[in-house]
Structure 1
Amino acid sequence: MAAFGGTMIPSSVVLAGSRDGTDPVAVHAGVSDKALIAFGEETMLERVIMALRAAGIGHVSVAANSPAVLAEAERHGAMPFPAAAGPSASTANALEELGAPLIVTTGDHALLNSEWIRDFVARVPDGADVAVLLARREAIEVAAPGSRRTYLRFADGDWSGCNLFLLATPRAIDAVRLWQAVERDRKQPWRIVRRLGVRLLLRYLTRRLTLVEAITALGQRAGVSATVVECADGLAAVDVDKPSDLNFVRAFLGRADDGTARLDDVNA
């Protein structure tokens, strides 16, 4: 099992729920669910489960609402877990059921690497309730040229999330509750601004807010200690949100198989 501040990380949850409607990536790949997309002999979900296991996390659960995805989870020894209405609610349920510390990732993290997980957990400072892994634009553009990511622009650079979180203590539930509130308010932006604070938003919009300041402030609003860990490998920010991401991952894995490192001609 992975260690955090001398404490073992016994559990993880993979968020693999299906949103309402048809997933364009699943349609593009010709499968019923995105998590079931195959890379060679492995499904995307299998790759995620195996990475968590290789990191030393013994108990892997998968939150999904598709019977096919739940069956795939069971086939690889993961505990099927009913997905809630959204990823934040599924995370809250998993934290209540499995307890802290808990690693959270997603079922579309096709390139997830056990080394990223171990390094992330090892670098979370003592006293943190919640930690999030992010990568800088520069690292992503070096490791994954052609991959198109969404960036958060701060005073200290542009960052992209790596879909890897540590809910280190039971207090992390307060951060998940803030996430749930923001998720509920996504169609009413003024509510989100009110929750997060106009001053914080204005500092972000004018590029006067650093990433650490933002995460710290959000943690304070939730009543928890939140921290950021930077991932040096930009590939950690690559997930499969759209067909072009799938094309990129397939090209990358194909080149990894034949030992070719350069991806400059991959048009994702």
Structure 2
Amino acid sequence: MTQPTKVTALVMAGKRSGALDPLAEQAGVSQKAVVPVHRVPMIERVVRQVAACPQVGAIRIVAHDRDEIAALPAIARLAEEGRLTFAEGRFNIVDSVFSGADGAQFPLLVTTADNCLVTPEGYSEFIAKCLETEAGGAAGLARKERVQEADPVGQKRFYKFRDGEFSNCNLYWLGSEKALGAAEIMREGGQFVKFPSRIIKAFGLMNLVRFRMGWGSKEKLFEQISRRFEVRLVPIELSDGHYAIDVDNQRTFDVTERILREREPATLAG
């Protein structure tokens, strides 16, 4: 009997150089990844959820400052078990992904330390759909209506396609080493809505035009981008709009904390 595919999870926990994140400063910690959200440091919360996903095997945290993260109880326990290791964070997220992928077993699930609302079921859904579609690379998206059902102010920017509007969930898939070239999608945090020049750099001018004009479905755009990178890239639509809400600023911190208070009994938060 064929053993199910075990995925290596990269949890991106780097920090922007040159300035202390405002949320970290407010919480009295040195990096955003360890800011508590509903009493639990973000990175510890995310790693717990990733570790509880049955399709995930090894876990790698990609970080600039590992000591503060390594001391967290859930992190320390997984490290002692040999399931969790660290990789060095680089200047930007793409180079950090390369650092995390070095010597790792593919396929890779890439998530971020501020993805506090993604559940083990969410990771399972994403992985299953990536495997079903035989994706070389993939990005998780949530439909606008689903995101607004989760919280009307949790996310305000959406990608417009002919088949609807979607938000990025900061969930990525790299099916093989060949797909690493497509990690360009994540450069500068993938904030293409705010910075269209990043689409030109990553995907080419014509794909920017298609994106801006809303020509074609998301599948069509990903098909065009696949040709550029010579790897099959797939948009993965996820069922829960919560997955598109990450902790990026004070507004999304407040939204996330409120949702977690509603979701989790106080006894489970500590």
Cα distance in 1 between the residues matched to 2:23 and 2:189: 25
The counterpart of 2:126, out of the listed 120, 124, 132, is 120
Cα distance, 1:19 vs structure 2: 0.5
What amino acid is the match of 1:19?
Answer: R
Secondary structure in structure 1 of the residue aligned to 2:5: strand
TM value normalised by structure 2 = 0.83
Q: Which residue of 1 aligns with 2:168?
A: 161
Give identity over the alignment, percent: 27
> Contact 1:111 / 1:235 at 8 angstroms: preserved in 2?
yes
> Contact 1:16 / 1:64 at 8 angstroms: preserved in 2?
yes
TM value normalised by structure 1 = 0.84
Cα distance in 2 between the residues matched to 1:22 and 1:106: 18
Cα distance, 1:257 vs structure 2: 3.4
Cα distance, 1:190 vs structure 2: 6.1
Q: Which residue of 1 aligns with 2:69?
A: 69
Cα distance in 1 between the residues matched to 2:3 and 2:118: 24
Q: Where do residues 79-90 of structure 1 align in structure 2 (5 Å cutoff)?
A: 79-90=85-96
Runs of 4+ in 1 over 3 A off after TM superposition: 70-74, 177-183, 188-192
Classify 1:40/1:139 alpha carbon distance in 2 versus 1 (closer, same or farther; 3 Å): closer
Can you give the 5+ residue segments of structure 1 that lack an aligned partner in the other structure?
260-268
Q: Which residue of 2 aligns with 1:46?
A: 44
Classify 1:209/1:6 alpha carbon distance in 2 versus 1 (closer, same or farther; 3 Å): farther
Once structures 1 and 2 are overlaid, which stretch shifts more, 188-197 or 12-21? 188-197
Cα distance, 1:181 vs structure 2: 10
Q: Which residue of 2 aligns with 1:263?
A: none
Q: Which residue of 2 aligns with 1:262?
A: none
Once structures 1 and 2 are overlaid, which stretch shifts more, 93-102 or 174-183? 174-183
Q: Which residue of 2 aligns with 1:144?
A: 151
Is 1:199 the counterpart of 2:206? The answer is: yes
Q: Which residue of 2 aligns with 1:264?
A: none
Can you give the 5+ residue segments of structure 2 that lack an aligned partner in the other structure?
79-83
Secondary structure in structure 2 of the residue aligned to 1:98: coil
Secondary structure in structure 2 of the residue aligned to 1:97: coil
> Contact 2:210 / 2:221 at 8 angstroms: preserved in 1?
no
Residues 206-228 of structure 1: CA distance to partner in whole angstroms, max 9, x if unpaired? 22232111222112211100111
Classify 1:91/1:204 alpha carbon distance in 2 versus 1 (closer, same or farther; 3 Å): same
Cα distance, 1:10 vs structure 2: 3.7
- Cα RMSD, aligned residues only: 2.7
Aligned residues: 251
